[in-house]
Amino acid sequence: MSDTTTTRPQPRTEGRIRTGGQGLWAVLRLHRAAMWVWIVFVAGMAAAMLWLQYGPYGTGATAVQQGCGTPGHRDCYSIPNRAEDFHQFGGMLDYLSWLLRNIAPVVAGWAGGALIGREVERGTVELAWTQAVTPVRWLTEKLAVPGVLLAAGSGVLVLQFRALLHWADARELLIAGYSTQDYYFAFGPSAVAYVLLGLAVGVLTGFLARGTLSALGIAGVAAWGVTYLVNPWRTRIWPVVTDVQLGKGPFGYAARPCQWRQSETIYSADACLGAKPASLYWPVQLVETGFLLVLTALAVAAAYWLLRRRTP
């Protein structure tokens, strides 16, 4: 057999298959479950927003505020005692913005944790890393495909939430006060950046945690923790309007003025739409988006670094 050392296997062209765009197929096929979790989340959120707008609470609340502020009617800030639909609408809107702002990144974190953690646990990473594709390319595909899907899904939800806010504002349905509201950040690009950060944190966790289950748990907690920790940071670096009377018509929306001096709480920026001038909206959004993208880049870089350290 030693005299055959000079022959080298030559590529056989017959039997080859077309493989253009197949990296996409591979990632989607392997992570169908994670993809469906995200699709269900996006579809569920979209359906909930449509239901809120056109369902009983939306129509009921619109009826409560019908004609308010016009001659012969009460002003729009004095809500009558029997206005269950109006309060339910406000509560649901709070809840949906909270889901969009806080839970979407956790879902993305789970996706990222499952994406890597499951392959690490099963040993299939080694199957992938010993094929012709380099580990770096493998991770890039693993990040890019879900990254695009997550950004697209959360982008659609943010746009729909904005449309819902416009719709509610036109009908004098927006209230401010009493509870922590996440509107301010749920209807801008930072919501998408949070989701991408969730994915990056999840992927990093997938490498660090041993096993899928722990990767899912840690990724979820880490994604939620990061979004939670940014809240007070954001509130402190931006000027807070202390005179609640100045809170008329902020961010292009006509919200009710704040109910008390909310600037004293760490959530004041979220808590009251009226607490900041409209001119601050884009600076706050863009700085926050940039900050989150830097964090995302750091988490992704750490994941690549871990990968490089594990594979020669």
Partner 1 sequence: MSNTTAALEAAGLAKSYSRRKPAVLDECSFRLPRGRVCALVGPNGAGKSTLLRLAAGLLRPARGTLHVLGLTPARARERVAYVAQSKPLHPQLTVAETLRYGAVLNRSTGRWDRRAAERIAYGREDGEGLAPDARIRTLSGGQRTRVALALAFGKRAELMLLDEPMADLDPLARQQLTGALMSAAEEGTTIVMSSHVIAELEGSCDFLLLVTGGRLRLGGEIEEVTAAHTLLTGTADLDASRQTVIEERPSGRGRTALVRSTEVPDGDWLAERPNVEEVLLAHLRNTHVPPFLTGDASPVSVQRAERARAQENAA
Residues at the site binding partner 1, with contacts judged by CB under 8 A: 1-2, 4-9, 11-12, 14-17, 19, 22-23, 25-26, 29-30, 32, 122-124, 126-134, 138, 311-312
Residue nearer to partner 1 on the CB measure, 12 or 82: 12
Residue nearer to partner 1 on the CB measure, 36 or 51: 36
Residue nearer to partner 1 on the CB measure, 139 or 273: 139
Considering the complex, what minimum distance in angstroms separates the CB of residue 2 from partner 1? Answer: 6
Considering the complex, what minimum distance in angstroms separates the CB of residue 213 from partner 1? Answer: 16
CB 190 within 8 A of CB 283: no
Amino acid symbol at 211: G
Residue nearer to partner 1 on the CB measure, 17 or 81: 17
Tokens of 164: 């819902």
Considering the complex, what minimum distance in angstroms separates the CB of residue 129 from partner 1? Answer: 6
> Terminus-to-terminus CA distance in the chain, angstroms?
32
Residue nearer to partner 1 on the CB measure, 14 or 75: 14
Alpha-carbon span 268 to 246, nearest angstrom: 14
Considering the complex, what minimum distance in angstroms separates the CB of residue 26 from partner 1? Answer: 5
Considering the complex, what minimum distance in angstroms separates the CB of residue 220 from partner 1? Answer: 22
Residue nearer to partner 1 on the CB measure, 265 or 311: 311
Q: Distance of alpha carbon 150 from its chain centroid, rounded?
A: 8
Residue nearer to partner 1 on the CB measure, 22 or 70: 22
CA triplet 128, 133, 135: central angle to 5 degrees?
65
Considering the complex, what minimum distance in angstroms separates the CB of residue 15 from partner 1? Answer: 4
Residue nearer to partner 1 on the CB measure, 15 or 71: 15
Considering the complex, what minimum distance in angstroms separates the CB of residue 16 from partner 1? Answer: 6
Considering the complex, what minimum distance in angstroms separates the CB of residue 256 from partner 1? Answer: 52
- Provide CB contacts within 8 A for 42, sequence distance 6+: 153, 154, 156, 157
